[in-house]
């Protein structure tokens, strides 16, 4: 047959990575495959990032009461009456905006960490550039094509999306609530996150903005493609399962978009997703004017936003507690910059620099990290708060103490070199890194057979990292058919023959076990 000649001569190495992938999709779905490859449990820690878009006025959020006399000369039209500032246990120097009683309580309960004056050298005052700096972890004058969390997830799951989902990582690596994924999650080749606006209806809705289907042929086809798009979300089922397994949640404040988003996050975490990182967003902090109501400075746009932030975070924390997963979760807020020390004449503030951020959860080291900023009465309209802590030290410390990433990796792979280790969370919860070895092998085929399908004989090729190596064959129902290899072997690639000895045609599995790694390849016996 000439056909064979032609195929043989066709160059096979032409396909780069972007053409492959996705074929493994059915892999994670099979309970049998999961059982055959099951292994050590992973660290179950989750990081929830809350992005406050627009640039939050830190001085009116975490209020330095000991700087009041200076501030009253610089931002009198927006300064909040000191008698209304919410006090914090153990300090008289620092308080919270009066719209934040829930976070005040979290602080007093030891579940809130305040990090003072976070920024970076040579601050940038453009929303876009400053946001890019925050999400990529770049220097002020540096352009990085990848995001901080993208680099972390690429370290942990280097071959994603090839080989995912798999028995060790069944779930999305990161989830952003909404319809777009942030550059925060951009890896070297793909964005590592998926966007979800409704975990029970995973078609990628634009936050509920979905145009109706017209009554035309086009409408018929649009509906068809939408259906397929929904079905082919790789993670549809695990997300739906997680969401539906949570049947009751704590109370969340109404008319609070951030609360709505965090409620979804709590539901997914409570439902058992292993997803490492979540990103939610609250916008509107670009308060050039109308930040406060003139004469009633504890009210206005900023107060409304902080009230939403505070009530949503507390409701989320309480819900996690009720769901029994609060120990697994740490949250962190960030905004692209703070605002100017000196207010403007329209009851607002212009783009600034360093600002405080919050880290929250059961495992935070509570209290305030750092000192109140020192405000000079000589401050001019162009002056900004200096940074006390580099924002990359915050990332680096969370990666090290919460995600247990080795310091050398943080320094080199994460591009967060020599940043200061900050006491943010209790580091004692870090588990073994054996799972990292499994994750880093996912997407690399360590076992395969050829020809496939086969009738009488096939060759099973496998790669062992050395040491005790086991190669087994199972039938489609999980019954062990044969043990082909069970011995101590040197590292390398081997081939073993497998003969069809009166087996029925159908699906079979070849399984490799070597150290912490277990992989399964499917084989077809043809008639």
Partner 1 sequence: MSNNLLFGAADATVHPKSSRSTSGLTPYTGVWTKNEVVHLLKRTLFGATFDDINYFLSQGMNDSVNELLNASVSPPAPPLKNYTNTDDDAYATFGQTWVNSPPVPGVTGLRGASLKAWWMGLMINQSRSIEQKMTLCWQNHFATQIQNYAEPRYGYRYLETIRANALGNFKALTKAITLEPAMLVYLNGNKNKKGVPDENYARELQELFCIGKGPNSLYTEDDVKAAARVLTGYRDDSLNNTSYFDPARHDATDKQFSTFYNNTVILGQSGPNGQNELDDLLDMLFLNEECALFVCRKLYRFFVYYTIDADIETNVIVPLAQVFRANNYDIKPVLSILFKSEHFFDMANRSCMIKSSVDFTVGFCRENKLVFPDATALQNQYYFWLLGEQFSATMAQDLLDQPSVAGWPAYYQEPAFHELWINSDTMPKRKNFTDGLLYAGVTKSGYKLIMDTIALTATFSDPSNPNTLIDDVLTMMYTMEVSAAWKAYLKTYTLLSGQASDYYWTNAWNDYVADPTNASKKQIVLTRLQYMYAFIMEMPEYQLS
Q: Which residues bind partner 1 (CB under 8 A)?
A: 2-3, 5-11, 14-19, 21-23, 25, 51, 53-54, 126-129, 131-132, 141, 143, 145, 178-180, 183, 186, 188-191, 204, 206-207, 209-212, 214-218, 220-222, 224-226, 228-229, 231-232, 234, 281, 283-284, 286
Q: How far is CA 431 from the centre of its chain?
A: 19
Show the tokens assigned to 125: 């005052």
- In angstroms, give the least distance from the CB of 9 to partner 1: 3
Least Å from the CB of residue 142 to partner 1 = 8
Distances (CA, A) of 59 to 68, 289, 326: 11, 16, 30
Angstrom distance (rounded) from CA 451 to CA 443: 21
Q: In whole angstroms, how close is the CB of 526 to partner 1 at the nearest point?
A: 19
Looking at beta carbons only, is 190 or 503 nearer to partner 1? 190
Minimum separation from the CB atom of position 448 to partner 1 (A): 19
Nearer to partner 1, 83 or 141 (CB): 141
**Closer residue to partner 1 in complex, CB, 129/459:** 129
How many CB atoms are located within 10 Å of the residue 273 CB?
Answer: 23
Nearer CB in complex with partner 1: 179/452: 179
Identify whether the C-beta of residue 514 lies closer than 8 Å to the C-beta of residue 468: yes
Beta strands in 322-435 (DSSP E): 329-334, 355-360, 367-369, 389-390
| Interacting residues of 287 by C-beta distance below 8 A, sequence separation 6+ | 54, 57, 301, 302, 339, 348, 349
d(CA 426, CA 242): 28
- Which of 92, 217 has the CB closer to partner 1? 217
Question: Min. distance of Cβ 132 from partner 1 in angstroms?
Answer: 6
Of 134 and 462, nearer to partner 1 (C-beta) is: 134
Contact of 508 with 476, CB cutoff 8 Å: yes
* Contact assessment for residue 278 and residue 177, using Cβ atoms and an 8 Å cutoff: yes
Closest CB to partner 1 among 20 and 417? 20
- Structure tokens, 435: 């799972």
| 10 class by beta-carbon count within 10 Å (0-12 exposed, 13-18 middle, 19+ buried) | exposed
Q: Which is nearer to partner 1, 131 or 343 (CB)?
A: 131
Q: Where are the alpha helices (DSSP H) in 272-363?
A: 301-323
Shortest Å distance, C-beta 214 to partner 1 = 5
Which residue intervals of 353-406 are DSSP H helices? 391-401
Minimum CB–partner distance for residue 15 and partner 1 (Å) = 6
- The encoded tokens of residue 315 equal 């409701």
Q: Which residue, 98 or 183, has its beta carbon nearer to partner 1?
A: 183
- The least CB distance from residue 522 to partner 1, in Å, is 16
Cβ–Cβ < 8 Å for 424, 366: no
Could you tell me the smallest distance in angstroms from the CB atom of residue 181 to partner 1? 8
Quick one: 214 or 386, whose CB is closer to partner 1? 214
Burial category of 415 from C-beta neighbours within 10 Å (exposed 0-12, middle 13-18, buried 19 and up): middle
Q: How far is the CB of 186 from partner 1 (least distance, A)?
A: 8
CB of 23 or CB of 428, closer to partner 1: 23
Task: Provide the minimum distance between the beta carbon of 284 and partner 1 in the complex, in angstroms, as a whole number.
Answer: 7
Closest CA to 122 of 379, 339, 390, 317: 390
> Coil, helix or strand for 193?
strand
Q: How far apart are CA 385 and CA 425, in angstroms?
A: 26
Give SS3 for 29: coil
Considering beta carbons, is residue 216 or 248 the nearer one to partner 1? Answer: 216
Q: How far is the CB of 217 from partner 1 (least distance, A)?
A: 4
Q: Smallest gap, in angstroms, from Cβ of residue 143 to partner 1?
A: 4
Q: Tell me how far apart the alpha carbons of residues 423 and 421 are, in angstroms, rounded to a whole number.
A: 7
Of residues 328 and 351, the one with the C-beta less far from partner 1: 351
Q: Which is nearer to partner 1, 218 or 444 (CB)?
A: 218
Instruction: Check residue 39 and report its DSSP letter.
Output: -
Helices (H), 271-379: 301-323
| β pairing state of 389-390 and 112-119 | parallel
Q: How far is the CB of 361 from partner 1 (least distance, A)?
A: 25
Distance CA 510, CA 462 (A): 10
Task: Kindly give, in sequence order, each residue whose CB lies less than 8 Å from that of residue 67, ignoring residues fewer than 6 positions away.
Answer: 372, 373, 374, 375
Indicate the length of the chain as a whole number: 527
């Amino acid at each position: 047959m000439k056909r064979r000649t032609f195929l043989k001569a066709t160059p096979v190495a032409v396909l780069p990575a972007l053409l492959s992938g996705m074929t493994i999709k059915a892999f994670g779905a099979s309970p049998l495959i999961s059982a055959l490859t099951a292994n050590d449990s992973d660290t179950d820690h989750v990081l929830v990032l809350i992005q406050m878009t627009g640039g939050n006025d830190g001085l009116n959020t975490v209020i330095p009461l000991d700087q009041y006399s200076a501030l009253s000369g610089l931002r009198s039209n927006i300064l909040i009456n000191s008698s209304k500032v919410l006090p914090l246990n153990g300090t008289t120097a620092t308080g919270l905006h009066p719209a934040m009683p829930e976070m005040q309580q979290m602080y007093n309960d030891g579940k809130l960490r305040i990090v003072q004056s976070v920024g970076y050298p040579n601050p940038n005052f453009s929303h876009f550039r400053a946001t890019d700096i925050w999400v990529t972890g770049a220097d002020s004058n540096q352009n990085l094509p990848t995001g901080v969390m993208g680099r972390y997830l690429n370290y942990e799951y280097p071959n994603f999306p090839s080989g995912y989902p798999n028995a060790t990582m069944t779930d999305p690596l990161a989830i952003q609530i909404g319809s777009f994924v942030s550059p925060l999650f951009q890896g070297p080749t793909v964005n590592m996150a998926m966007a979800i606006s409704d975990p029970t209806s995973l078609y990628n809705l634009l936050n509920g903005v979905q145009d109706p289907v017209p009554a035309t042929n086009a409408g018929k086809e649009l509906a068809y493609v939408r259906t397929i798009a929904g079905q082919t979300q790789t993670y549809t089922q695990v997300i739906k399962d997680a969401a539906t397994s949570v049947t009751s949640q704590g109370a969340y404040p109404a008319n609070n978009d951030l609360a709505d988003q965090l409620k979804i996050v709590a539901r997914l975490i409570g439902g058992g997703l292993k997803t490492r990182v979540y990103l939610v967003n609250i916008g509107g902090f670009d308060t050039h004017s109308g930040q406060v109501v003139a004469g009633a400075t504890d009210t206005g746009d900023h107060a409304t936003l902080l009230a939403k932030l505070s009530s949503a975070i507390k409701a989320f924390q309480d819900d996690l507690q009720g769901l029994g997963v609060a120990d697994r979760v740490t949250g962190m807020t960030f905004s692209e910059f703070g605002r100017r020390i000196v207010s403007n004449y329209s009851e607002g503030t212009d783009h600034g620099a360093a600002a405080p951020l919050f880290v929250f959860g059961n495992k935070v080291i509570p209290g305030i990290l750092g000192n109140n900023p020192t405000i000079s009465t000589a401050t001019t309209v162009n002056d900004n708060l200096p940074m006390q802590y580099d924002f990359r030290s915050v990332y680096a410390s969370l990666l090290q103490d919460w995600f247990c990433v080795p310091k050398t990796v943080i320094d080199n792979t994460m591009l967060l070199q020599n940043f200061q280790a900050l006491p943010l969370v209790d580091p004692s919860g870090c588990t073994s890194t054996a799972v990292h070895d499994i994750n880093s092998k996912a997407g690399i085929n360590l076992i395969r057979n050829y020809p496939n399908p086969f009738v009488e004989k096939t060759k099973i090729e496998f790669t062992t990292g050395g040491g005790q190596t086991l190669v087994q064959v199972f039938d489609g129902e999980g019954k062990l058919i044969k043990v082909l290899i069970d011995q101590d072997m040197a590292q390398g690639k081997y081939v073993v023959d497998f003969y069809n000895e009166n087996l029925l045609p159908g699906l079979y599995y070849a399984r490799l076990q070597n150290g912490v790694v277990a992989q399964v390849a499917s084989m077809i016996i043809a008639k």
